[in-house]
Amino acid sequence: MTPRNLIAALRWSLLFLFFFAAVHAQAPAPDLILHNGNIVTMEDKQPTAAAIAMQGEKILSLGPSEPILKLAGPKTKVVDLKGRTAIPGLIDTHIHIVSGGLGMVKVQLGEAESVADVLDIVRNHIRDNSVPAGAWIVASSDWYVNQLKENRFPTRWELDKAAPENPVFLPRGAHQSASNSLALKLAGITKDTPAPKGGEIGKDAKTGEPDGTLVDTAQEPIRKLLPKEETGAALAALKRVQTLAHSLGITSLVDGGVNMGEWRTMEELKKSGGLKIRIAARVRPKSPEDFREINKTLPPATNGSAPGSSR
């Protein structure tokens, strides 16, 4: 090799070393390293790994524990899994976040196995909480009629026995509910009330009297009478669901129907830095002004699909 070629080679070598050192210096240290575990990747080429390094919302590296641990910086949180399994965050693909969170502090019917159980839960709620006469008894909608051995709603007359002095409203999801006689009276629903368009009023087969079951739009006269949520209740509900989801390994939620008030609550939590879960929200704007308000919040580069965004 001639002296000229040798000098050129050295120059290229030095340039490569400087470039490598610059890239290495710029590489961010991971925020979090999980090691000594069974990392499930969901990738066919590398289905599992012993360790993973993450920075922000990105995976920096997967592999054996020893080389991954060498990536740690002074501020990296290092977690020894001690052989335990770590999986990607789960996604709940259909949830109603705010209404579900509000329901978490209402009467819970999820454990009821019979109509008698439902009546006991209502009766005990009134007793244990010293609910005054005339106050509404409203259940969470998070239960199923077919969990009851009778596979039906309690009738108005059965509910009257559990709550003779309180109006009762037991929704199942958004489409069906059961109410007692006092609730029906306050709502003006009688034997002669016609079923509204898009709704049904359950009737006793012998007498034709309303049996307390209401479907879809037939519920509106009662829903209009329900106590208004307190200021801040929606935000507290959102935080409540976020905490529960994280405790179950759920990191993403798809809300099947969000009104503008609920959307604003999500935006409020995001702006405060408190939104720690991804939300894909199917927002239901009702006016051009609503559309403009939503569009102002969407990052143009991502069309509103940025991590942690409500859209």
Residues 13 and 71 placed together within one structural domain of the fold: yes
Q: Is residue 301 part of a domain?
A: no
pLDDT, one tens digit per residue, over 184-228 is 999 999 999 999 999 999 999 999 999 999 999 999 999 999 999
| CATH number reported for the structural domain that contains residue 139 in this entry | 3.10.310.70
Taking only the tens place, the pLDDT of each residue in 223-282 is 999 999 998 999 999 999 999 999 999 999 999 899 999 999 999 999 999 999 999 999
Reduced 3-state DSSP string for 142-185:
CCCHHHCCCCCCCCHHHHHHHCCCCCEEEEECCCEEEECHHHHH
Please indicate, yes or no, whether residues 154 and 198 belong to a single structural domain of this protein.
yes
More confident position, 166 or 298: 166
The answer as to whether 154 is a domain residue is: yes
Burial call 255-293: b when 16+ CB within 10 Å, e when fewer = beebebebbbbbbebbeeeebebbbbbebebeeeeeeeb
Cα distances from 256 to residues 61, 167, 182, 285, in angstroms, run: 35, 30, 32, 14
| 57 lies in the same domain as 76 | yes
pLDDT at residue 298, as a whole number: 78
Instruction: Mark which of 88, 114, 147 sits at the end of a domain.
Output: 88
* Inter-residue contact 48 to 40 (CB < 8 Å): yes
Residue 164 lies in a domain: yes
Tell me if residue 187 falls in helix, strand or coil. Answer: helix
Is 175 found in the same domain as 71? no
Tokens 């789960």 appear where?
A: 90
Quote the pLDDT of residue 87. 95
Of 179, 201, 223, the residue at which a domain comes to its end is 223
Q: Residue 190 and residue 35: Cα distance in Å, rounded?
A: 66
Of 301, 241, 228, 295, the C-alpha closest to 267 is 295
Q: CB under 8 Å to 205, separation ≥6 — which residues?
A: none
CATH number at residue 9: 2.30.40.10
Mean pLDDT for the chain overall: 90
Could you list the residue range(s) of the whole structural domain that residue 180 is in? 106-223
Domain shared by 120 and 212, yes or no? yes
Are 112 and 196 members of one domain?
yes
In a domain, 289, yes or no: yes
Residue 308: pLDDT over 80: no
Q: Is residue 9 domain-resident?
A: yes
In a domain, 253, yes or no: yes
- 311 belongs to a structural domain: no
pLDDT digits (tens, 9 = 90+) for 21-42: 444 445 689 999 999 999 999 9
Helix 288-295 with 260-271: angle, nearest 10 deg: 20
- Answer with the one of 34, 56, 88 that is the final residue of a domain: 88
Distance between CA 231 and CA 237 in Å, rounded? 11
CA dihedral 271→277→283→289, nearest 10 degrees, is 10
Q: How many separate domains does the chain show?
A: 3
Confidence of residue 16 (pLDDT cuts 50, 70, 90): low
pLDDT higher at 12 or 198 = 198
Any domain includes 307: no
Do 195 and 243 reside in the same domain of the chain? no
Q: Residue 222: which H helix or E strand, with range?
A: helix 220-223
* CB neighbour class for 214 (10 Å; exposed up to 12, middle 13-18, buried from 19): buried
Are residues 56 and 12 both part of a single domain? yes
